[in-house]
Chain A
Amino acid sequence: MRRAALVALIVLAVAWPRLASSYLVFLASLVLVNAIVAIGLNLLSGYTHQLSFGHAGFLAIGAYTTALLGLPCLRLEGLYLTMATLAFGFVVTEAILNLDALTHGADGLRVPAARLGPWALTTDAARYYLVVAVAALLVVAALNLARMRVGRALLAIRESEIAAQASGVPVATWKTLAFALSAFYTGVAGGLFAWLIGTLSPDAFDVFLSVDFVVMIIVGGLGSVPGSIVGAAVVTLLNDVLAGFQNYRPLIFGSVLIGCMLFMPGGIASVWRRQTAP
């Protein structure tokens, strides 16, 4: 049953560009890119219960910021990390606006078409397949992580940092690693996003984008990889539907966050688990 569903999903993913219009193919690519960020954020939040508002920042400048932010994060816990990364998000946007020579400031950058050896990926379908391949790789990696030593260590940290430390888990090291991994996922997604959109400008990466990612993992379910993908799909499609109602978007997303925490903690993933449990 499970295997059949998985095969159906793979067939659907491969055949999608032949079935759907080119806009829907683009939308599917966007869902997957967002899913990669959501999985990345979930590696941090879901496994260690820490919240980052800096993920739009990482999406903007890629994973090399790890060196800049990852090391001080050894010291940051809980609320501190949240607020530091929130401030970081602002700094990145400011930096992009001010580093004219590199980023052309508010005018934005044109992104050259992606190339794989001799092939230039110029069609929506080609870009979609690239995104699917990368996303599949990262999903499998994230699923396996939870079963590895690292994943178990991170879960131990989430349940009780002190107990984990007492059992010999080097808490600071693993937390930094979680942050680095999380930023790496987001950096990869940032690269894919650039190719997908074709032009970059700083206002595409404001703090509210980071909030979108938080909504994705809360709706989908903390610490759940399939939940991250479902959450990314829900938020991306909602964004598309609400494109004409920009003023109501934060109202709806905010209400969804509050509603999820009060009535559905654990998100869609936990509801699914309860439904399918014998």
Chain B
Amino acid sequence: MTTAALIHVIVSGLATGSIYALMALALVIVYNATRTLNFAQGEMLMVSAFLAWTAQRTLGVPLWGSVVVAVAGAALLGFVVERAIIRRSPGATHWDVLIITLGLSLVLRALAGLIWSHDEFPFPSFFSNRPITLGPARLAPVSLGILGASLSLMLALYFLFTRTRLGRAMRAVAQNPQAARLMGVSVERMSSAAWVLAAVVGALAGVLVAPVVFLSTKMGLIVISGFTAAVLGGFGSMPGAVAGGMLLGVLENLAPLYLPSGIRYAVPFLLLIAILTVRPAGLLGRVIARKV
């Protein structure tokens, strides 16, 4: 295996990994605000990508415009789901929300199948597929483009969470909902904001990944990789989610080179078991003792 080929594999792994990282961030944003897991996050990504595609096809909206449509649609979907379903659940424990969002993922997938069919569709990309030569390596602009766009989005999220009132309020709720409420932060409004923000991040990830994997109702399964990434980094930690996503992407791309090719599908599962056995808190997570 030459160095150039290795660089190619690693860069495309990082590109895949940055999509996983965005998915992981979406899951962590909801988790931090509500202590629940949105199992339907992947299906919300899929629906947003289909909305963008429909805007391009039937309304003739340019690619840039269709991204705006996807983001707006996702934000609306996130808002409606949180208000109309999640907030009405009587217990709203992580168990209740898990089952509800499991049901939601089935419903969204079936509806998407009825509207758009379960076929695969090509999705236009911002980036060309023709490899360019950079020093010793030949790299696909698609990989670099996905990586660049994801990193910019992560940077934007970093500023949101450290520099703005909204971001700081969301972090306060993540740390301690009761104390945040006493300081005048509306926990309910933050829950709403988290669902909308996560849906938007998912929509952007969806538009980025759709050209690579094709647009189909199966796209939602990316939620498993996103969850694995979040656990690898330490569930709840945002830098951890990014690191976990990148690591997962690279390992998934490297493993088939050295092991039987079927191993690719087992990588997330094996990594999950390995990390939870060796270091349950994740790579960047802290061990926090729970109080009764």
Question: How long is the Cα–Cα vector from A28 to B39 in the complex, in angstroms?
Answer: 33
Cβ-based interface call for B290 (8 A): yes
Beta-carbon contact of A251 and B106 below 8 Å: yes
Given A163-B292, A251-B107, A258-B107, the answer on whether A87 and B228 have CB atoms closer than 8 Å is yes
Cβ-based interface call for B80 (8 A): no
Contact with B along A255-271 (1 / 0, CB 8 A): 11110111001000000
Contact with B along A149-175 (1 / 0, CB 8 A): 000000000001011001000000000
Stretch from A1-9, A90-98, A119-127, A131-139 at the B interface: A90-98
Footprint of B on A, CB under 8 Å? 49, 51, 72, 75-76, 78-80, 82-84, 86-88, 90-91, 94-95, 98, 160, 162-163, 166, 211, 214, 218, 247-251, 253-258, 260-262, 265
| Chain B interfacial residues counted at CB < 8 A | 41
* Chain A residues closer than 8 Å to B95, beta-carbon distance: 49, 51, 78
Question: How long is the Cα–Cα vector from A87 to B228 in the complex, in angstroms?
Answer: 9
Beta-carbon contact of B85 and A258 below 8 Å: yes
Residue of chain B at shortest CB distance from A87: B269
Cβ-based interface call for B99 (8 A): yes
- A43 nearest CB across to chain B (Å): 16
Beta-carbon contact of B292 and A258 below 8 Å: no
- Chain B's interface: helix, strand, loop or mixed, by majority? helix
10 pairs, CB–CB < 8 Å, chain A vs chain B: A51-B99, A80-B235, A84-B272, A254-B102, A254-B105, A258-B85, A258-B100, A261-B89, A261-B96, A262-B90
Beta-carbon contact of A87 and B110 below 8 Å: no
CB < 8 Å: which of B99, B113, B265, B290 contacts A94?
A: B265
Stretch from B46-54, B124-132, B185-193, B273-281 at the A interface: B273-281
CB < 8 Å: which of A78, A250, A262 contacts B100?
A: A262
Question: How long is the Cα–Cα vector from A80 to B272 in the complex, in angstroms?
Answer: 9
Beta-carbon contact of A253 and B106 below 8 Å: yes
Beta-carbon contact of B224 and A214 below 8 Å: no
Beta-carbon contact of A162 and B110 below 8 Å: no
Beta-carbon contact of B292 and A255 below 8 Å: no
* Chain B residues closer than 8 Å to A258, beta-carbon distance: 85, 100, 103-104, 107
